[in-house]
Amino acid sequence: MPIFVDVIADGKVYLGTTEHSPGSPWYKDARYRCINATDGTEIWTLTGWGTGMYVGQYDIVADGQFIYLNCYDMQIYSVGKGPSQTSVTASPKVSTAGSSVLIEGNVIDIAAGTKQNEQAARFPNGLPAVSDASMKDWMEYVYMQKPRPMDATGVPVVISVVDANGNYREIGTVTSDADGFYSLNWTLTSKANTQFMQASPDQNHTGHHTQSQPSTLTPHQQPPHRNQHSNPPWLISTSYPQSQAYSSSLLSSA
């Protein structure tokens, strides 16, 4: 297929597919692509047919977002980094040493596109965040009426705890499923009774996901001082390592 250099911005080259005088029906399976300008690796690709002979006449980049009109469905799409949100709960809230505690939660995409009427109605419990490898087919399923991918995978979630004495450690890493859900059974090792107090997402990693709320504690910060307790509480936090590919909140249509 004919491929044009569309826009060059922010260290990225955006490529589009179109033709000098395209007739209907359009070529099938045309793509827009974002390429790393330094090493040539592909950052993301999405289905899309350009608007004319030179797609660069119509497509733009602003504030890190690539905007294009997809002639396949005549919708305008904005592609770029987007926010996500992690939740965590623990049950039972009060446990003794040697007992098992179920830690669970979800990781959801909270980009602007997920608030649109169609997407909000289809995903009333939030749009699950998925891995970079699953992103193309997942975003096309969410926004372009494509079939739901059967092999979509979630994101790794790192679960950490800190007690009232300032002892901080990671207790496990799990991967969320295609519904955004994750869980971990944790056996308490402290000799004292423990109580789960709160949970917070962690922003310590540097991928394209951004959390909706700041972390109360990251691995590279000094744990907050707390008074000594005979039964120290535990503060649970979660994070997930993120690649430099593209966000779970990739796409929203105008």
Q: What pLDDT sits at residue 26? A: 79
| Stated length of the chain | 254
Q: What pLDDT sits at residue 162? A: 78
C-alpha distances in angstroms, 202 versus 106, 229, 250? 14, 25, 20
The answer to whether the beta carbons of residues 163 and 97 sit under 8 Å apart is no
* pLDDT-based confidence at residue 117 (cuts at 50, 70, 90): very high
- Tens of pLDDT along 181-238? 999 998 877 543 444 433 334 443 333 333 333 222 223 333 333 333 334 445 555 5
What kind and span of H or E run contains 119?
helix 117-122
Q: What pLDDT sits at residue 217? A: 27
- List phi, psi (to 5°) of 136: -55, -55
* pLDDT-based confidence at residue 20 (cuts at 50, 70, 90): confident
Instruction: Report all structural domains of the chain as residue ranges with CATH numbers, in order of start.
Output: 3-79 (2.40.10.480), 85-239 (no CATH)
Statement: residue 249 has pLDDT above 60: no
Q: What pLDDT sits at residue 1? A: 76
CA distance 46 to 233: 47
- Tens of pLDDT along 153-168? 999 999 988 776 777 8
* pLDDT-based confidence at residue 18 (cuts at 50, 70, 90): confident
- Tens of pLDDT along 28-76? 888 999 999 999 999 999 999 877 656 556 788 988 899 988 888 989 9
Of 106, 41, 45, the residue nearest 240 (C-alpha):
106
